Structure 1
């Protein structure tokens, strides 16, 4: 069982790092989106959504660091610009204030997309024998699925 960055082949590292970059980009875009929604949400559910969006971006900020550090442990450098994250991610940035219900729908969709990219990463890591990245990806996928559920619960 290969469970350290040192034990992985160059090809395995390349495959895993590519998946990590993709997942990191998704989380980066979603972090900023959650912060934007946190700042701009209005309506009857303001309090609960304001707090939930803050919980999401706080969680995501820490997740970005965890993924970036894994990329570094595998010997690559992280991409640092928001433009690079937007290029890699299928999640679109929030540019306009929208009604609270649309914010919730959009953020739930983003969480589901992140969970999907993390599941793909977990599969890649498994195939490449990288147990540590597999574990990271599975744990993060679970967190994003939970956020998606919490957001969808607001929609009834």
Structure 2
């Protein structure tokens, strides 16, 4: 167990790890959503959207590792099964949005959901005195808020 895990009560570790697994599931589904849109976007904004969706899925993939490693540092189990992630995720797996506007709206919603999940988990971590998790998730929430803003900017 890490120093942080030893300072936290077992019930706090469990609650934080459960919330982090929610973050992990939401990030995983958003990763694939962004990759799907990267592969399938068309239209006049193809170039910039293709690049932005790639930036998102690469960012989200790396974030999944950070979140999973934080779960492990707290002594928890990082849930990595795709079926469980889909079932748990608050991010809606898009059923095949066609057209860039529908993709942008779906991705803006996904980013807003991720930002809320990260903020909620950061608050939980703060309540239990887990500053390292709190800091990680505040930073992640800011990334997702920025991506949401970028998506909304395309819509005018």
Unaligned runs of 5+ in 2: none
User: How many angstroms apart in 2 are the aligned matches of 1:78 and 1:17?
Assistant: 8
Contact 2:94 2:106 in 1 (8 A): no
Post-superposition shift, 1:76? 1.2
User: Which 4+ stretches in 1 moved above 4 angstroms?
Assistant: none
| Contact preservation (8 Å) 1:36, 1:94 | no
Instruction: State the secondary structure of the residue aligned to 2:92.
Output: coil
Deviation at 1:5, TM superposition (A): 1.9
Q: In the TM superposition, what is the alpha-carbon distance from 1:94 to its structure 2 partner?
A: 2.8
Match of 2:121 in 1: 121
Q: After TM superposition, list the pairs within 5 Å mapping 1:62-73 onto structure 2.
A: 62-73=62-73
TM-score under structure 1 length normalisation:
0.96
Larger RCO (CA within 8 A; separation ≥ 6): 1
Larger deviation: 62-71 or 78-87? 78-87
Tell me the residue number matched to 2:154: 154
Tell me which residue corresponds to 2:24: 24
Partner residue in 2 for 1:145 = 145
Q: Does 1:57 align with 2:57?
A: yes
Shift of 1:97: 4.4
Match of 1:103 in 2: 103
C-alpha distance in 1, partners of 2:140/2:131? 14
Q: Does the CA-based 8 Å contact 1:70-1:133 persist in structure 2?
A: yes
Q: CA deviation at 1:4?
A: 1.5
Deviates more, 1:43-52 or 1:75-84: 75-84
Which stretch has the larger CA shift, 53-62 or 5-14? Answer: 5-14
Q: CA deviation digits over 1:31-84, x for unaligned, max 9?
A: 000000000000000000000000000000000000000000011111111111
Count of residue correspondences: 154
Structure 1 residue runs of 5 or longer lacking an equivalent are none
